[in-house]
Chains A and B, each alone.
Chain A
Amino acid sequence: MTNLSLAMTFALVLLALYLSYKDKIGLEKDIMIGSVRAVLQLTVIGFILTYVFDLNNIFVTTLILGLMVYNAAVVSAKRGRGIYHIQRIAFFALLFGLVITLGALLAFGAVEYQPSQVIPISGMVVGNSMIAASLVFNNLRENFLRRREEIEIKLCLGATSREAATSIIRQTIRSAMLPSIDSMKTLGIVQLPGMMTGLILAGLPPTDAIKYQIMVAFMLVGAVSVSVFIAAYWGSKSFFTEFEQLRQP
C-alpha cells in the first residue's frame, strides 16, 4: 500500500463526517479527534515498536509489557470505583492473565520471547482481559448494591462472605466470559479476526493464517478466564470487612 492510497482512505472519515453533519448527529468533533488521535498514536507507536524490535532487549520488552498491564489496570479500575483496593485487584488480575497465557505459549514453543512476537500478542491478551475485567467490576458493583439485602440475609444465617456472594460471583463470571466465548464460536463464520486478516493481507496463505488465529482464540479465552476469575473472587471479597460484614456503599 502506498502512502497516497493510505491518505485517500481518509475519504471514508469524510463520509462519516458528512453523514453525522447531515443528520445532525453531533459527532463531527469526536470523529475528527478520534481519527487524528488514531493517526498520531499509531505513528508514534510504529516508531517506538521499530526501535524496541531492533533493540531486542529482554528487560525493555518486559518493561513495556508491565506498562501495558499497568495502563490497562488503570482503565479497568475506573469501572470499579468504590471497590476497595480496586487498582491492586485490576493490576494483578490482568498480570496473572498475561503471565499464565504467555508462559504457556512460551512453554509450548508457540512463540519466542522476542519483542516482535510477545508485544503484539500481549497487547491482544491484555486488551481482551481488560474489557472482561471491566465487565466484572461493573457487574460486581451493580449486584452488590442491588442484592444487598439478600447478601445480608445469608450472612446473618451464618454464611461466609464467599457463600453469601456465590450467586453474584457466578453470574458475574458468566456475563464477563460470554463475549469471549461467543466471539470464539463465530470465528470464521461472522468475523475474520484481526490477526488472521493481517496475515492474509501480508500474503500468508489462509490455511497458515488460521493456525495463528486458532492459537490467538485459545490464548484469549485462557487469559480472559484467569483475569475474570481473579477479578471476580478477589473483587467480591473486598466488599466485606474482616468481620464478614458488608461494607457500607
Chain B
Amino acid sequence: MLLLDVVDLKLEFKGIPVLMGLSFQVYQKDCIGLLGSSGSGKTSLFRILNLLQSPSQGKVMYLDRDTLSYSPTALRKRIGYVMQKPHLFEDTVADNLLYPYFLLKTEPNYLVIHQYLEKVNLSESILQKKPTELSGGEQQRIALIRSLLIQPHILLLDEFTAALDEENTIAVEKMILAEQEEKNVTVLFISHQAVQAQRLAKKILHLEKGKIAFYGTKEAYFTSKDVDV
C-alpha cells in the first residue's frame, strides 16, 4: 500500500536551496535508510514529512491526501519523528513516557512502558530519575520509546543510535524490526553508518546536495560501483 508520495519537493532556507525537487514513494512496511553527507538535506526532509516545516514547492501526499490538508497534530501522531538530539522534558523520565498518553487522552499503559524498557536494556528504576541524570544513550532510548508510545504508522528516526554502544544499538534495532513486524510500522531512518543501513534497511535513499543520488533496494545500492558509501 502506498503511504507517502513525495512529489517534486523543494525547500529553500534564506534563499539557499536545501532540497531540490525530490520525488519518491514509500510503501507500507518499508524500511528505508537515508544516507548522505552532512548538509545533504536528510533532516530537512524529515522535518517536512513530520510537517514541522512546509516545503517551498512540491508536496507530500499521505494516503492520497496532501499532508498540508491534514490536522497537523493528527498527522504528527501518524508520522512520528525521533529527532537526532533526544531532548527530554519535564521532571522525570516517567513524565516523558506519560506525555504520549496525555496527548492521546488515554490511560497510561504501564505494562507497555515496562516492555519497551526491557527491550532496550533499561530497568524500571530509570523512571524516577531526572533526565539530567541519564547518559546520552539512555536519553536516546527514552526518546525513542516516547515516540513509539504514540503508535505512529510511519516512524522517522534521525541518527537514533548515535549515542549507543554496539550491544544497545542491536537491541534498539531489534525493537524497531519487531514494531515493523507486529504493528506494520513503516520506518525511515537517517544513519551515517553503512553497516547499520545494511543490517536494517530494505531500501536506501541516498541524498547529495539536496538531490536524490540513489533510491532503490539495499542490494542494488551496495553492489552499485557508482555509489561511494
CB distance from B34 to the nearest CB of A (A): 17
Q: Within 8 Å of chain A (Cβ to Cβ): is B24?
A: no
Query: Considering the chains assembled together, what is the distance between the CA atoms of A246 and B54 in angstroms?
Result: 11
Complex: chain A residue closest to B85, CB-CB: A149
- Selected from B54, B68, B83, the residue in CB contact (under 8 A) with A156 is B83
Contacts of A150 in B (CB 8 A): 87, 89
Question: Which residues does chain B contribute within 8 Å of A152, judged by CB atoms?
Answer: 52, 83
For the complex, what is the distance from the CA of A157 to the CA of B81, rounded to whole Å?
7
* Chain A proximity of B65: nearest CB distance (Å): 14
Q: B68-99: which have CB < 8 Å to A?
A: 68, 72-74, 76-77, 80-81, 83, 85, 87, 89, 99
A175 at the B interface (CB under 8 A): no
- Given known A153-B83, A157-B100, contact A243–B54 (CB-CB < 8 A): yes
How big is the B interface, by class?
20 to 34
Q: Are A157 and B146 in contact (CB under 8 A)?
A: yes
Q: A149-B87, A153-B87 are in contact. Are A158 and B52 (CB under 8 A)?
A: no
Question: Given that A158-B73, A160-B73, A245-B53 are known contacts, is A153 also in contact with B89, CB under 8 Å in the complex?
Answer: yes
Shortest CB–CB separation between residue A247 and chain B, in angstroms? 11
Q: What's the Cα separation between A150 and B99 when bound, in Å?
A: 13
Tell whether A88 is near chain B: CB-to-CB under 8 Å: no
Q: Is A244 an interface residue (CB 8 A)?
A: yes
Give the CA-CA distance A115 to B99 in the complex, in Å: 53
Contact A163 B103 (CB under 8 A): yes
Q: Nearest CB to that of A149 among chain B residues?
A: B87
In contact, B73 and A245 (Cβ under 8 angstroms): no
The smallest beta-carbon distance between B131 and chain A, in angstroms, is 11
Chain A neighbourhood of B54, CB < 8 A: 241, 243, 245
| Tally of contacts, chain A with chain B, CB under 8 A | 57
| A58, CB-defined interface residue at 8 Å | no
Contacts of B191 in A (CB 8 A): none
* Shortest distance between the CB of B9 and any CB in chain A (Å): 16
How far is B77's CA from A163's CA once the two chains are assembled, in angstroms?
14
Beta-carbon contact of B147 and A157 below 8 Å: yes
B73 touches which of A153, A159, A167, A246 (Cβ 8 Å): A159
A167 to B155, CA, bound (A): 27
Say which residue of B51, B81, B87, B147 sits within 8 Å of A245 (CB atoms): B51
Asked whether any CB of chain A lies closer than 8 Å to the CB of B150, the reply is yes
Chain A residues positioned under 8 Å from B76 (CB to CB): 155-158
Contact B51 A158, beta carbon cutoff 8 Å: no
Shortest Cβ distance from residue B178 to the other chain A in the assembled complex, whole angstroms? 21
B50 contacts chain A at the CB level, 8 A cutoff: yes
Interface size on A, residues (CB 8 A): 18
Contact assessment for B87 and A243 in the assembled complex, using a CB-CB cutoff below 8 Å: no
A44 to chain B, nearest CB (A): 48
Is B83 a contact partner of A157 (Cβ separation < 8 A)? no
Report if A37 contacts B (CB, 8 A). no
Q: How far is the CA of A244 from the CA of B50 in the complex (A)?
A: 11
Shortest CB–CB separation between residue B14 and chain A, in angstroms? 9
Chain B residues, Cβ within 8 Å of A159 = 73, 103
Chain A residues closer than 8 Å to B147, beta-carbon distance? 157
Q: Name A244's contact: one of B73, B81, B150 (CB within 8 Å).
A: B73
Quick one: which of B68, B74, B80 contacts A157, CB cutoff 8 A?
A: B80
A150 to B83, CA, bound (A): 11
A85 contacts B by Cβ under 8 Å: no
Separation in Å of the A161 CB from the closest CB of chain B? 9
* Cα(A245)–Cα(B68), bound, Å: 12
Interface flag for A154 (CB, 8 Å): yes
A152 to B84, CA, bound (A): 12
Within 137-175 of A, Cβ neighbours of B (below 8 Å) are at 149-150, 152-160, 163, 167
Q: If A160-B73, A245-B53 touch, does A154 touch B150 (CB 8 Å cutoff)?
A: no
Q: Knowing A157-B76, A158-B103, say if A245 contacts B89 (CB, 8 Å).
A: no
Interface residues of B (CB under 8 A from A): 50-54, 68, 72-74, 76-77, 80-81, 83, 85, 87, 89, 99-100, 103-104, 143, 146-147, 150
13 residue pairs bridging A and B, Cβ less than 8 Å apart:
A150-B87, A154-B89, A156-B81, A157-B100, A158-B74, A158-B76, A158-B103, A158-B150, A160-B73, A167-B89, A244-B72, A244-B73, A245-B72
- A154-B89, A245-B51 known; 12 new pairs, CB 8 Å cut-off, are A150-B87, A155-B72, A155-B76, A156-B76, A157-B76, A157-B77, A157-B147, A157-B150, A158-B104, A158-B150, A244-B73, A246-B52
